[in-house]
């Protein structure tokens, strides 16, 4: 077992606290992206310790903000081992925190602050692991810290990959420090977000207006993130409404439809209750309803059963209609789909075929399906040299790895950009709680152990690989 020096321990905590102090919040829907202060601090720190450093600034024209990322390397030989992290964080609501989320503080073994776990603590571990390392004749250590992972990484990783290709510097292996409670992740489901567009055609019918409220119910984890939605165990409010009111004529739908990747917590449906009861005939009258919404509800009732080819997944697949936008002219339904496939055309075809069967010639409705966004799956064999080396390095440090394989209840990560180039990647991160939630914390002792694990993994991989596999 290797021990960190007191200097390294102090450096780790100091760097982590400094990184957390920068409020690098990102949320494109709110026109938010961080400035370059955190990236500049990271760049200068690495330059001072002998790294070749290149910073990347890419403009997101949609929100008029820049995205800042840092790439650094030390050494000139292969294999090239990349350690991957990100500097951006999800927004924090200070009123929900015990203390200022950007004033990091320590309680026992816990370091608190927004990004402590996801993912400035792991970034600090990676930096500390290699600050004073001389790769010598063994290989090249690379550090890549992206600036928009929480929004998909699209303005960080692709341009950096193009740079690496142009310089013949693509990594041999990638180790990502996403918080994992010491699990080793080699597999993540892909993401595909689609929008179904129908005209909001109106007709009238006789009956009474009724209203029913439906709520999303989670069986375990109370997160409303689609990645943590388990069909069969959890209840999606909009799907439950469509099943319960199948065949009813829908007038209007309300709900907290906030983001494509967030389940609505509550859905309120106004519909026509048709009755043959003569005693209530005086209560019946002519009511205008939406043909588009009525057809949409019939389709949504069976949406989770649409068929398209996928790779096996221990958590299955999830299809969540999380956004419903209605105006006088059109209806838009946005789906967040998590599954082990990169074939978005097959998914799009399946959605189109499913909705089409509910559109009759007499309804005269058009149907459009748009791909909004997709992220490729990550799929690396758990028996590959990379995860097996991580297990060995972790065990040497006294860490019992609880699981190697698919991430359960997690979204996508930047690792996928590399695995889809055929570059093996695996993830191991610290013990933590509250990432994306108030009072986020990370275990300091876990960060210290991982500092050694990252360094030892580099040593083991460079010892075992004597030539460039590319």
436: its two tokens = 């994306």
DSSP reduced 3-state for 208: strand
Q: Which of 82-99 are b and which e, b meaning 16 or more Cβ less than 10 Å from the residue's Cβ?
A: bbbbbbbbbebeeeebee
Q: Which of 8, 25, 88, 260 is catalytic?
A: 88
| Alpha-carbon span 267 to 261, nearest angstrom | 16
| Alpha-carbon span 431 to 425, nearest angstrom | 20
Q: Which of 8-19 are b and which e, b meaning 16 or more Cβ less than 10 Å from the residue's Cβ?
A: bbebbbebbbbb
| Alpha-carbon span 362 to 451, nearest angstrom | 66
Q: Which of 8, 118, 148, 149 is catalytic?
A: 149
Q: What is the DSSP string of 310-366?
A: ----TT--EEEEEEEEE-SSEEEEEEEEEES---HHHHHHHHHHHHHTT--TTT---
| Alpha-carbon span 428 to 314, nearest angstrom | 19
| Alpha-carbon span 397 to 47, nearest angstrom | 29
Q: Parallel, antiparallel, or unpaired: how do β-strands 318-326 and 285-290 relate?
A: unpaired
Task: Give catalytic status of residue 149 as yes or no.
Answer: yes
| Alpha-carbon span 390 to 348, nearest angstrom | 38
Task: Give catalytic status of residue 368 as yes or no.
Answer: no
Catalytically annotated residues: 88, 149
């Amino acid at each position: 077992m290797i021990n960190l020096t007191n200097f390294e321990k102090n450096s780790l905590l100091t760097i982590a606290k400094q990184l957390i102090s920068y409020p690098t919040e990102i949320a494109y829907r709110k026109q938010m992206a961080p400035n370059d202060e955190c990236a500049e601090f990271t760049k200068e720190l690495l330059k001072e310790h002998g790294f070749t450093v290149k910073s990347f600034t890419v403009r997101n024209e949609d929100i008029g903000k820049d995205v800042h990322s840092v790439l650094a390397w030390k050494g000139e030989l292969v294999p090239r081992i990349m350690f991957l992290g990100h500097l951006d964080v999800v927004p924090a609501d200070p009123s929900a925190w015990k203390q200022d989320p950007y004033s990091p503080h320590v309680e026992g073994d816990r370091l608190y602050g927004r990004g402590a776990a996801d993912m400035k603590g792991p970034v600090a571990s990676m930096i500390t692991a290699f600050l004073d390392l001389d790769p010598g004749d063994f290989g090249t250590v690379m550090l890549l810290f992206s600036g928009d992972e929480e929004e998909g990484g699209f303005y960080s990783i692709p341009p950096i990959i193009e740079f690496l290709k142009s310089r013949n510097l693509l990594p041999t292996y990638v180790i990502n420090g996403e918080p994992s409670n010491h699990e080793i992740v080699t597999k993540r489901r892909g993401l595909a977000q689609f929008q179904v567009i129908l005209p909001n055609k109106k007709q009238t019918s006789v009956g009474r207006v009724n209203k029913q409220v439906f709520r999303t119910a989670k069986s375990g984890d109370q997160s409303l993130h689609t990645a943590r939605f388990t069909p069969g165990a959890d209840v999606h409010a909009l799907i439950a409404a469509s099943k319960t009111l199948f065949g009813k004529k829908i007038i209007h739908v309300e709900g907290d439809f906030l983001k494509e990747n967030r389940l609505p917590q509550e859905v309120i449906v106004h519909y026509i209750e048709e009755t043959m009861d003569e005693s209530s005939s005086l209560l019946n009258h002519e009511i205008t309803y939406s043909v588009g919404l009525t057809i949409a509800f019939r389709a949504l009732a069976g949406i989770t059963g649409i068929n398209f080819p996928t790779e096996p997944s221990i958590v299955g697949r999830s299809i969540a209609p999380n956004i419903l936008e209605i105006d006088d002219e059109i209806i838009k339904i946005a789906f967040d789909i998590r599954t082990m496939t990169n074939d978005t055309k097959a998914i799009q075809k399946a959605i189109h075929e499913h909705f089409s069967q509910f559109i009759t010639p007499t309804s005269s409705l058009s149907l459009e399906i748009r791909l909004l966004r997709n992220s490729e799956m990550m799929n690396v064999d758990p028996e590959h040299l990379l995860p097996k080396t991580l297990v060995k390095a972790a065990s040497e440090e006294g860490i019992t790895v609880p699981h190697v394989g698919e991430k359960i209840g997690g979204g996508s990560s930047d690792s996928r950009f590399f695995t889809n180039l055929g570059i093996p990647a695996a993830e191991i991160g610290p013990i933590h709680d509250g990432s994306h939630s108030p009072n986020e914390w990370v275990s300091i002792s876990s960060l210290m152990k991982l500092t050694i694990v990252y360094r030892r993994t580099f040593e083991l991989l460079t010892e075992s690989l004597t030539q460039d596999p590319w």
